[in-house]
Amino acid sequence: MTILDRIEDPRDLDALTAEECRMLAAEIREFLIAEVAKTGGHLGPNLGVVELTIALHRVFASPRDPIIFDTGHQSYVHKLLTGRKDFARLRQRGGIAGYPQRSESEHDVVESSHASSSLSWADGISRAFSRRALGDPSQRDRHVVAVVGDGALTGGMTWEALNNITDDNDRNLVIVVNDNGRSYAPTIGGMARFLNSVRTTAGYRELQEGSERLFSALGAPGRTVYRAARGAMRGIASRASGNQDLYSNLDIKYVGPIDGHDLEAVEQGLRQAKGYGRPTLVHVITEKGRGYAPAENDVADQFHSVGRIDPGSGEPVQQASGSSWTSVFRERIVELAEADDRIVGITAAMLAPTGLDLLAERHPGRVIDVGIAEQHAATSAAGLAFGGLHPVVAVYATFMNRAFDQLLMDVALHRAGVTFVLDRAGVTGPDGASHNGVWDLATLQIVPGIRIAAPRDEETLRELLAEAVAVDDGPTVVRYPKGATGGALPALRRSDDGVDVLRDTGGGADVLFVTVGPMARLALAAAELLSEQGITSTVVDPRWVVPVAGTVVELARSHRLVISIEDGIRVGGVGTRIRQSLRDSGVDTAVDERGMPDEFPEHASREELLSDAGLTAERIAADVAAQVRGDRVPVARPESG
């Protein structure tokens, strides 16, 4: 039996010796590499927090002392130490989630996987504990711990929370800054420079290197004495070098910097912070991908998130077939920027994942990384547009939710020519509820003057991106899903207002399918099934789904039933917009909106989630046929002759 086999609850850690804890850390790394290689997932972040997580659970009593992981992609070690060791279906239906999830364990507190929110959660929980302790003294010894990465410190919400936390010091709140110098990519900005100065300061670096040499030279008795003194020596070095100046200015206690892979030092620092009885920041320096050479040597993102890989080499087991949506954008934005020097890119700490890395490589200075600060990105883009440029803000669709106010009031109200490119739009699958991009169509289309495009294949993405950056009198959005673009879907013809007709019976039809982006494939398959039952269909791709094109309205006038298909939520979605446009134009054709329910999608594959929502060709064809044959919808027949 391994030491990991013996850990079913965090309190099982209490009986371990220091040497057993180090052996446990090694076992956890071996486990993570072997298991995540089979399923894919966030490998690098978890390899970097093994010792830190062990120390957290030895010092604090979860769940009585809640541990809140900012973002949560580094919670695999936490899951292992709280009894969740079956990683066989990680991020798959029926398996454990890739982020904290309350339904899995009482040890999981915050499910949202959006960065920079942990300190606000911790502030609220610690205030609640303090308030409850007024009437119940047993609550006074409860602590709240927030684990926040240095990348998340670039988000404004973190600093709003810090300002509020330091306004009331009578609370048991510990903030652990997991400083590895990276989010997806190296962390940028003034805070990153400050932390880097701490990480590379001569006093800290020389002490770390010298102590490791001394440790290796000592025998077992000497090592015991050395471990006891090492944390204190580092604390003295930190204070002497003035590295806590920033935090002392915020009126918050500071402990560190601490080598995040030195279990005893981390544990000592956490116990010190726990004893203060006031908000305290513990600065822990870690290495993303620690202990796994392929991750440590990956300069791009140190295996932040991987698919299935060979555990020995780190190479992907299966190469993706065909072009991905992101790769098409990556190449096309460079082409457009080379033809128009007004185009600049903006990323929120996700340069490579969103595809702006090639533009940054080819044209240094024309891509701005604002850190994890989508709100700032949107308003800064409005300023760039006012200054005569055309900014392209590339973010994951789920993160666009955070910048809605800025899009509405700073970009749209001022009619700023800004293009938002939303990667991972619609149903993404394995990353779970907060990473599915199913809300963008419903939320963004209420913005006055906005234009939203949804390409169905590689060629229409190239076209629509060019059309979007040519608009300078208001915001444009180009949204596309995760994964491969699939084969080309050529149009039979294109209307004057840009609507592509993909299927046409040539003499009228029963059903008009209006599709959003790649859902065109689903509509074509459903139309083929209906044709086998004698029900005729027209299939159109509006390309620009908001506002509704006049051609869609006129085609609806000549059909008996309109079926809209989107992979966003139905409530307030494109189908709803089409229904309104028909009513405004006096068209009484029935509209059946097909999309995702207004629920948080659980982690599962994209195909499973679409099937759950009835978004399959077979289900749609069966439902349409039932409507037609049930005479609930009059049937239009082609004229003879």
478-536 confidence digits (pLDDT tens): 999 998 999 999 999 999 999 999 999 876 789 999 999 999 999 999 999 999 999 99
**pLDDT (0 to 100) of residue 98:** 83
Which pairing describes strands 537-541 and 561-569: parallel, antiparallel, or unpaired?
unpaired
Share of the chain above pLDDT 70, in %: 86
Tell me: the pLDDT tens digits for 317-367? 876 667 899 999 999 999 999 999 999 999 998 899 999 999 999 999 999
- Is 106 among the residues known to form the active site? no
- How confident is the model at residue 537, as a pLDDT? 95
Separation CA 79–CA 104 (nearest Å): 9
Residue range 153-183, pLDDT digits in tens = 788 888 888 888 888 788 899 999 988 876 5
Q: What is the pLDDT of residue 240?
A: 37
Instruction: Please state the rounded mean pLDDT for residues 241-257.
Output: 67
Banded model confidence at residue 236, pLDDT cuts 50, 70, 90: very low
Is 150 annotated in some ligand binding site? yes
The answer, yes or no, to whether residue 549 has pLDDT greater than 60, is yes
More confident residue, 224 or 551: 551
pLDDT of 43 > 70? The answer is yes
Spatial distance between the Cα atoms of 639 and 604, rounded to a whole number of angstroms: 46
- Rounded CA gap, 350 and 181, in Å? 14
113 carries a ligand binding annotation:
yes
- The predicted model gives 255-276 an average pLDDT of 92
Statement: residue 234 has pLDDT above 80: no
Which range scores top for mean pLDDT: 393-402, 424-433, 503-512?
393-402
* CATH architecture of the domain with residue range 494-629: 3-Layer(aba) Sandwich (3.40)
Whether residue 635 has pLDDT greater than 50: no
Name the pTM for this structure.
Answer: 0.86
Q: For 46-72+106-201+243-287, CATH number?
A: 3.40.50.970
Which residue, 269, 252, 275, 209, is CA-closest to 52? 269
Q: Is 614 exposed, middle or buried (0-12, 13-18, 19+ CB in 10 A)?
A: middle
Indicate the Cα dihedral angle 268, 272, 273, 276, nearest 10°: 170
Query: Residue 434: what pLDDT?
Result: 80
Asked whether residue 292 is marked as a ligand-binding residue, the answer is: yes
Q: Is the pLDDT of residue 225 over 50?
A: no
Q: What is the average pLDDT score of the chain?
A: 86
374 is in an annotated binding site: yes
**Single-letter amino acid, residue 44:** G
Residue with the larger pLDDT of the pair 363 and 639 = 363
Q: Mean of the pLDDT values across residues 405-423?
A: 97
pLDDT number for residue 249? 61
- Residue 233: pLDDT over 50: no
Q: What mean pLDDT is predicted for residues 95-103?
A: 87
Q: How far apart are CA 214 and CA 500, in angstroms?
A: 72
Greater model confidence, 314 or 348:
348
Tell me, what's the pLDDT at 231?
47
Lowest mean pLDDT among 34-43, 197-206, 270-279, 609-618: 197-206
Establish whether 374 is a catalytic residue: yes
Average pLDDT (373-378) is: 94
d(CA 356, CA 349) in angstroms, rounded, equals: 11
Please compute, for residue 52, the number of CA atoms within 13 A of its CA located in the half-sphere on the CB side. 32
| More confidently predicted of 280 and 225 | 280
pLDDT tens digits for 270-289? 999 999 989 999 999 988 88
Domain 325-479 fold is: Rossmann fold (3.40.50)
Q: What is the pLDDT of residue 232?
A: 45
**Percent of the chain surpassing pLDDT 90:** 58
State mean pLDDT over 138-165.
86
Catalytic residue status for 288: yes
Q: Which of 91, 171, 288, 577 is catalytic?
A: 288
The answer to whether 456 and 515 are in contact (CB under 8 A) is: yes
| Separation CA 177–CA 83 (nearest Å) | 25
Instruction: Given the residues 374, 458, 566, 593, select the one marked as catalytic.
Output: 374
Which of 220-234, 420-434, 457-471, 591-605 has the highest average model confidence (pLDDT)? 457-471
Residue 303 pLDDT > 90: no
What is the bridge-based pairing of β-strands 367-369 and 493-494? unpaired
The CATH 3.40.50.970 portion of the chain extends over 46-72+106-201+243-287, 325-479
* 19-38: pLDDT as tens digits: 999 999 999 999 999 889 88
Alpha carbon 359 to chain centroid distance?
22
